[in-house]
Every structure is written in structure tokens, then in C-alpha cells.
Amino acid sequence: DVKVTQSSRYLVKRTGEKVFLECVQDMDHENMFWYRQDPGLGLRLIYFSYDVKMKEKGDIPEGYSVSREKKERFSLILESASTNQTSMYLCASRASGTGGNEQYFGPGTRLTVT
């Protein structure tokens, strides 16, 4: 079974703080993703990575950065957290070269910025 884990289930941070969200997958997947999920807006892609040290912007990258130093780990960084970044953050991974395009999600981190 694919296992994607996220460092925290719930996180409360103050406006202006630097926030790190960590994601680890144990299936040797090449591709990893960060989404945020908001009521009425659905899932929106923030960034993804197709290899170590490689990244591509998604649909809403503003205010976020990412880091992928090891294949199994993908970090999302909020440089200066703002209240409009309060959301559910979901990490996902996908294998290259086999099967199709299905992505496997972690349990999510519910971030509240006050």
C-alpha cells in the first residue's frame, strides 16, 4: 500500500510566522504534490516536484515555496503566514512510468493562522 504521511494533523500559527509542512512517502514515487483544499473552491495545486531538487508552480504558488532535497520528502514553506492561508493542506505522490496518473494523498494538515 502507498503510504503518504504528513508531519502534523493540526497546526496553529501566528500571522508573519514562517511555517514548514513536511510530507514523506514510502513508495519511491518520483512525483510529489502540495494542494490546499477550501470549502467551495475544491482542491487547488500549489506546487509539484517531478524529481529531487526539481519543482514546478501549480495554480496558486504565491506566498508559498517548496523544497525537495530527498526523493521521499517534499516540504511546503509559508515564508510569512497570513490569515488567508488558513486551510487544509494535502500532500500527494504519484509514480512515473507505470500505471496511469492516479495520485495518492496523505491525511492532510489543517493549518490555522491567527
Partner 1 sequence: QKEVEQDPGPLSVPEGAIVSLNCTYSNSAFQYFMWYRQYSRKGPELLMYTYSSGNKEDGRFTAQVDKSSKYISLFIRDSQPSDSATYLCAMSAGYGNNRLAFGKGNQVVVIP
Interface with partner 1 (CB under 8 A): 4, 31, 33, 40-43, 45, 48, 50, 56, 90, 94, 96-97, 99-108, 110
Task: List the one residue out of 106, 99, 88, 84 whose CA is nearest residue 33.
Answer: 106
- Least Cβ distance, residue 80 to partner 1 (angstroms): 26
Task: List the one residue out of 29, 31, 65, 71 whose CA is nearest residue 48.
Answer: 31
> How many C-beta atoms lie closer than 10 Å to residue 98's C-beta?
5
Q: Which is nearer to partner 1, 3 or 18 (CB)?
A: 3
Q: Which is nearer to partner 1, 49 or 85 (CB)?
A: 49
